Amino acid sequence: MVASAVNSQQWPSAVEALNETGRSPFVLICEHASNHIPADYNKLGLSDVDLGRHIAWDIGAALVTRALSKRLDASAFLGGYSRLLIDLNRPLHVADSIPLRSEATDIPGNVSLDAAERERRQQVMFLPFQDRLRAHLDKRTADGRRNVLVAVHSFTPVYHGQQRAWHAGVLFDKAATLGQALITQLKRDPLLNVDANVPYGVSADADYALVVHGDLAGNPAVLIEIRNDLIADPDGVETWTGKLEEALRAVESLS
């Protein structure tokens, strides 16, 4: 059933891979690129308005990732399903791998899932993405190439009623030299409010690619969070693609 389903329009590939032969040392990752939910799931009991919100995907992140892939000549890997089905940036053992609640919104379609449905989502959505990315990184390593992981995400201007003043954050753990250098480059614009590990920190329970494919595998890895109102239209995407391209090119030799 799953094998035939994944070939249909409702069940796309778990990963959209771009420019896998790109010459850049950067490998771009966008886990929350899509808000797609197959019709079988009946929108998980949510409205179309809810599925357009941040709870279902990272608004603007996919557009920035695709544009950066072209400008940097970098490979890129984008998720094909909504984070509400299974979060590609969470370890499988944590509670919000398949969230029952996101921000202040309950997710009815994720209540009381049986083991078979959890396994289905892992096999169709989660593992193919991670396996494709891992194989790409392994091949680059075997070819003597560097792997510098840059995950692209976005965050909401307001979270649980609290305003977030940052325009962007650069998240990292072991790749502190790279992360701080990126912040320094972005702060060359005196109007930008950018800081380290905001609006979230990094941990093994809250992050996957940065930890598993990055730090634990010996690959420098950072996660860039952009406030989503700044990349919600084409002009914003163009502006932030340019800022990130300039900053990443400036720190390329440090990674």
Residue 255 pLDDT class (50, 70, 90 cuts) = low
User: What dihedral do alpha carbons 126, 132, 134, 137 form, nearest 10°?
Assistant: -150
Q: What is the pLDDT of residues 187-198, one digit of tens each?
A: 999 999 999 999
3-state secondary structure of 57: coil
Question: The tokens of 165 are what?
Answer: 């003043």
Q: Where are the domains of the chain?
A: 2-254
CA–CA separation, 118 vs 112, rounded Å? 10
CA nearest to 58, candidates 153, 125, 163, 151: 153
Identify the CATH number of the domain defined by range 2-254.
Answer: 3.40.630.40
Q: What angle (nearest 5°) sits at the alpha carbon of residue 84, between those of residues 170 and 57?
A: 45
Rg over CA atoms, the chain? 18
Q: What is the pLDDT of residues 41-86, one digit of tens each?
A: 999 999 999 999 999 999 999 999 999 999 999 999 999 999 999 9
